[in-house]
Amino acid sequence: MANSMAKSFLQAAATEEVVSPLRVVQIEGLVILKIIKHCKEFSPALVTGQLLGLDVGSVLEVTNCFPFPIREEDEEIEADGANYQLEMMRCLREVNVDNNTVGWYQSTILGSYQTVELIETFMNYQENIRRCVCIIYDPSRSNQGVLALKALKLSDSFMELYRANSFTGEKLREKNLSWMDIFEEIPIKVSNSALISAFMTELESDTPVTQCDYDRLQLSSNPYMERNMEFLIECMDDLSVEQQKFQFYYRSLSRQQAQQQAWLQKRRADNMQRKAAGEDPLPEEDPSNPIFKPIPEPSRLESFLITNQIANYCNQINGVSGQSFNRLYLMKSLHDN
């Protein structure tokens, strides 16, 4: 037995070499309900929690979760939070539940989650757990009758770049990385044990229409659209700011280049003269000269994230408006009847 265990560890070590890519996130129905409950209760405040589960081949199973307490404005509780986390894990281990961290979940408002902080947290997790996901739940969107649940991970190439912290245009081109390649969305599969499924069928009412379906028929989409628009506008502003940064950079770059050219020409002329006078030419480069100090190129990360965010909003708007049209046509035909 012990031998086989050791072997399986060995096997695990061996399989590590050829890691099969993460294909699907399999979540227990109970976990989803717990996440929804937590996020909805605290909405519009944003909350987070821990995901626990198992990493099996190309499937990441999420079998349990627990929420983090709402943090307060106090330094001490900061440590308490970490302690709580550890304590919780310990307790779970004691009752023999899966206590392997596989990621975290968080709530969001209208899908505005693509921030530098998210990436930072991701990187933190990534250091400890190779396979980790972030489940994002959007309570506001779920009000519309959709289960707005997303599992995300950072793409490998992006992570590499992020570690090197070089988001210059050149590097990005080299890696062939565009803004779309930052996050990878992983399909979510909800699994329930057979017992639960049976119980659910037992509970199911006679009518095939559920509350969720009623929600889906809600006609008012205005507030949602408005909010999306507002965010979109804001993103445009941010993007403009980024753009200005670049313009500024290019301007100073061209100015510097002009200065360098002028300096070089002068130096060359000097050298010609020195040559004529029989002296040694001066070096053509002078690192101490401030005009040769390279100007740092602004990072593209921010603009990438903003672009991502914009794409996200656009998708949402597209989706909602498409559905709204359907609903309106439905209503119209109902009226006509």
Partner 1 sequence: MASKFWTQGGSDTEEEETDIEDEIENGGAGETTAAAAGSRYLQTNASDSDDSDGQKRVVRSAKDKRFEEMASTVDQMKNAMKINDWVSLQESFDKINKQLEKVMRVTESDRVPNLYIKCLVMLEDFLAEALANKEAKKKMSSSNHKALNAMKQKLKKNNKQYEELINKYRENPESEEEKLEDEDEDEDEDESGSELEDPSQIAAESSDEDDEGEDVDDDDADGAWEKKLSKKEKLMDREFKKDPSEITWDTVNKKFKEVVAARGRKGTGKFEQVEQLTFLTKVAKTPAQKLEILFSVISAQFDVNPGLSGHMPINVWKKCVQNMLVILDILVQYPNIVVDDMVEPDENETQKGADYDGTIRVWGNLVAFLERIDNEFFKSLQCIDPHTREYVERLRDEPLFLVLAQNVQEYLERIGDLKSAAKVALRRVELVYYKPQEVYDAMRQLAVLSEDGEKDGDETKVEETWGTSAFVVTPELVSRKLTFPENSRALMDILVTLIYKSGDERTKARAMLCDIYHHALFDEFSIARDLLLMSHLQDTIQHMDVSTQILFNRAMAQVGLCAFRVGLIAEGHGCLSELYSGGRVKELLAQGVSQSRYHEKTPEQERLERRRQMPYHMHINLELLEAVHLICAMLLEVPNMAANSLDAKRKVISKTFRRLLEVSERQPFTGPPENVRDHVMAATRALCKGDFQKAFDVINSLDVWKLLRNRESVLEMLKAKIKEEALRTYLFTYCFSYDTLGLDQLTKMFDLSDAQIHSIVSKMLVNEELHASWDQPTRCIIFHDVEYSRLQALAFQLTEKLSILAESNERAVEARFGGGGLDLPLRRRDNQEYAAGTAGGGGGRWPDLSYNQGRQGSSGRAAYTGGGRPLALGQASRDRSSQSRGTGGYSGRAGSGMRGYQMDASARMVSLSRGVRG
73 touches partner 1 by CB under 8 A: yes
Q: Which residues are CB-neighbours of 281 under 8 A, at least 6 positions away?
A: 271, 274, 275
314 touches partner 1 by CB under 8 A: no
Q: What are the residue ranges of helices labelled H in the chain?
A: 2-17, 29-42, 75-94, 116-128, 139-142, 156-164, 169-175, 194-203, 211-216, 222-277, 301-336
8 touches partner 1 by CB under 8 A: no
165 touches partner 1 by CB under 8 A: no
75 touches partner 1 by CB under 8 A: yes
107 touches partner 1 by CB under 8 A: yes
Which 3 state secondary structure label does DSSP give 144?
coil
Stretch that binds partner 1, among 101-109, 157-165, 180-188, 329-337 (CB under 8 A): 101-109
Q: Which of 33, 229, 282, 328 binds partner 1 (CB under 8 A)?
A: 229
Interacting residues with partner 1 between 37 and 56 (CB under 8 A):
44-48, 50
109 touches partner 1 by CB under 8 A: yes
Peptide bond connecting 139 to the previous residue in cis, omega within 30 degrees of 0: no
200 touches partner 1 by CB under 8 A: no
91 touches partner 1 by CB under 8 A: no
List, as own/partner pairs, every contact residues 295-299 make where C-beta atoms lie below 8 angstroms and the sequence separation is at least 24, other chains included: 295/249, 295/252, 295/253, 295/256, 297/168, 297/169, 297/249, 298/242, 298/245, 298/246, 298/249, 299/167, 299/168
124 touches partner 1 by CB under 8 A: yes
Q: Which of 27, 31, 118, 148 binds partner 1 (CB under 8 A)?
A: 118
Dihedral of CA 107/143/152/171: which sign? negative
* C-alpha span between 214 and 211 (Å, rounded): 5
Closer by beta carbon to partner 1, 85 or else 166: 85
Question: Do the Cβ atoms of 191 and 28 come closer than 8 Å?
Answer: yes
Stretch that binds partner 1, among 31-39, 100-108, 155-163, 210-218 (CB under 8 A): 100-108
Stretch that binds partner 1, among 199-207, 236-244, 263-271, 322-330 (CB under 8 A): 236-244
- The single-letter DSSP state of residue 19 is P
115 touches partner 1 by CB under 8 A: yes
Q: What is the DSSP string of 267-320?
A: HHHHHHHHHHHTPPPPPS--TTSGGGSPPPPPPSHHHHHHHHHHHHHHHHHHHH
162 touches partner 1 by CB under 8 A: no
Least Å distance between CB 314 and partner 1?
11
User: Which stretches of the chain bind partner 1, using CB under 8 A?
Assistant: 44-48, 50, 68, 71, 73, 75, 78, 81-82, 85-86, 101, 104, 106-109, 112-113, 115, 117-118, 120-121, 124-125, 128-129, 134, 222, 225-226, 229-234, 236-237, 239-240, 243-244, 246-247, 250-251
